[in-house]
């Protein structure tokens, strides 16, 4: 089974983490199943951007983002060339390395 390596994030995984995942599953779903409390305000239907991550290694093994994902990504905090919405990423057979952004843009939690 492929492994998703998570780089350390102060809230989500302070020490970093490596999780076994099933190919074909969404990255966000796999993170939640592994106990990583990534935000997912729209419940994984690509309608927010709170599940934004950076795929730092292995991104070439994944399908390219579709138009819907790209549109939502435009709203993400700290967008870069390796940004993806984790609910849109279907895992392949290859290990990937994921970094979480420092912030998310969850309008429901902004005051």
31 binds ligand FES (CB under 6 A): no
30 binds ligand FES (CB under 6 A): no
Q: How far apart are CA 82 and CA 49, in angstroms?
A: 14
Least Å from the CB of residue 95 to ligand FES = 22
* Helices and strands in the chain, H and E counts: 2, 5
Q: How far apart are CA 105 and CA 2, in angstroms?
A: 29
26 binds ligand FES (CB under 6 A): no
32 binds ligand FES (CB under 6 A): no
40 binds ligand FES (CB under 6 A): yes
Q: Which of 19, 51, 55, 91 binds ligand FES (CB under 6 A)?
A: 51
Where do contacts with ligand FES occur on this chain (CB under 6 A)? 28, 40-42, 44, 46-51, 72, 85, 87
């Amino acid at each position: 089974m492929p492994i998703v390596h998570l780089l350390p994030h102060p809230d989500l995984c302070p020490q970093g983490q490596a999780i076994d995942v099933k190919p074909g599953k969404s990255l966000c779903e796999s993170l939640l199943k592994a106990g990583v409390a990534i935000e997912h305000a729209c419940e994984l239907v690509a309608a927010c951007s709170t599940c934004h991550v950076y795929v730092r290694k292995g991104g070439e093994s994944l399908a390219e983002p579709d138009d819907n994902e790209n549109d939502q990504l435009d709203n993400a905090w700290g967008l870069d060339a390796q940004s993806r919405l984790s609910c849109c990423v279907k895992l392949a057979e290859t290990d990937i390395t994921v970094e979480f952004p420092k912030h998310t843009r969850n309008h429901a939690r902004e005051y």
